[in-house]
Amino acid sequence: MAAEQSFDVYRLPEEHEAIRDAVREVCAAKVAPHAAEADETGEFPKASYDALRAADFHAPHIPAEYGGAGADALATAIVIEEVARACASSSLIPAVNKLGTMPLLLAGSDELKRRYLTPVAAGEGMFSYCLSEPEAGSDAASMTTRAVRDGDHWVLNGVKRWITNAGVSEFYTVFAVTDPDARSRGISAFVVEKSDPGVSFGAPEKKLGIKGSPTREVYLDGVRIPADRMIGAEGTGFGTAMKTLDHTRVTIAAQAVGIGQGALDYAKGYVAERKQFGKAVAEFQGVQFMLADMGMKLEAARQLTYAAAGRSERGDADLTYFGAAAKCFASDAAMEITTDAVQLLGGYGYTRDYPVERMMRDAKITQIYEGTNQVQRIVMARQLLKG
């Protein structure tokens, strides 16, 4: 009996499995059918957004007190995983809503949270995250976007690059230098609205994957905002940005797991149906070994991601390590799994008539954004060497 109880630790609670089933049902009916079109046209999949919004899966992490579903970090990861299994571009709707609003949840005033989390929960606007710049990618502390105090306002000038869902989102968490002499301690965070005078956007980037999620530059040209739109105290923005990424790297890991699962599911079905030399391709041992490795890597990535999600929910001291490890391992696994899925389909896998080539292209970005996997390894090593 004791052994049986110990194994129960590794089962998801029933409510989390119910969330998975509900998201999978919505995605099968109303998200997956738009995935290829979003990739082909490079247009934001509004029908998928509407479906996720109607089911309250567009920003499930927002607390109930602001009108949200109040999903915990694990439930949110499961939502993102299941949406990514159907359409990676669409999974960036709940993922980036969490990324953009996490600074508010971590450091925002009650009034600021109520003002901006409420419309996001209601599906009246999405939230994007503006940290990177043309000359400040992995070295985010070298940003040059400035915010200068002018009475009861701040005036922002600068350019942000690689901003997911830019132009579609109504709200933006923007990091800007308020004290140029203080390096990372001179960076502050602000909420900027799409409608603020001086806000504009560059042309959509021409990307390898996740084409249905627009990535654009955000231009801030004398954007004047009230001082109460600062998130947290002046000079704390960089710390908030790094704490945010500790939490949201878990969502990228979940996205990677979902992409990998979608590719494995499709490849399994294909090799079971495809016949060569008089028998199903799935009967060949070499193919079985490939499937075994894909499944093994995927489940290891999933368990590490869920472990990181638990630490995110609790705010554990080792979240920085686990968030980096989950993101790094899961994205590497997704790249390997999707590449193998293309291989298993042979020539068909290399064509856009089948979804695995899209999944392979989509998987690549998970190794790059929210910190490249080289940066994740630096983060992990530093955490290990602390002990």
Evaluate whether the domain defined by 2-121 bears CATH number 1.10.540.10. Answer: yes
- Sequence-distant (6+) residues with CB within 8 A of 342 are 349, 350, 356, 357, 360
- How many whole angstroms separate alpha carbon 238 and alpha carbon 310? 24
* Tokens matching residue 79: 């939502």
- How many whole angstroms separate alpha carbon 301 and alpha carbon 73? 16
238-386: which CATH topology?
Butyryl-CoA Dehydrogenase, subunit A; domain 3 (1.20.140)
In the annotation, is 370 catalytic? Answer: yes
| Predicted confidence (pLDDT) per residue in 9-38, tens digit | 568 999 999 999 999 999 999 999 999 999
* Tokens matching residue 258: 């979902």
Q: How many CA atoms lie less than 13 Å away from 133 in the CB half-sphere?
A: 19
| Predicted confidence (pLDDT) per residue in 179-228, tens digit | 999 999 999 999 999 999 999 999 999 999 999 999 999 999 999 999 99
User: Among residues 82, 313, 357, 370, which one is catalytic?
Assistant: 370
Residue 10, pLDDT score: 67
C-beta neighbour count of 217 within 10 angstroms: 21
- How many whole angstroms separate alpha carbon 341 and alpha carbon 356? 6
260: nearest Cα among 291, 214, 231: 291
Q: How many CA atoms lie less than 13 Å away from 275 in the CB half-sphere?
A: 2
The neighbouring-strand residues paired with 173 are 129, 191
- Contact between 380 and 322 (Cβ < 8 Å): no
Q: Calculate the CA 188 to chain-centre distance.
A: 23
Q: Give residue limits of the domains in the chain.
A: 2-121, 127-237, 238-386
Q: Name residues of the chain where pLDDT drops below 50.
A: 1-7
Give CATH superfamily name and number for 127-237. Butyryl-CoA Dehydrogenase, subunit A, domain 2 (2.40.110.10)
Residue 9, pLDDT score: 54
Domains 2-121 and 238-386 share a fold: no
Q: What is the Cα Rg of the chain in Å?
A: 21
Q: How many residues does the chain have?
A: 387
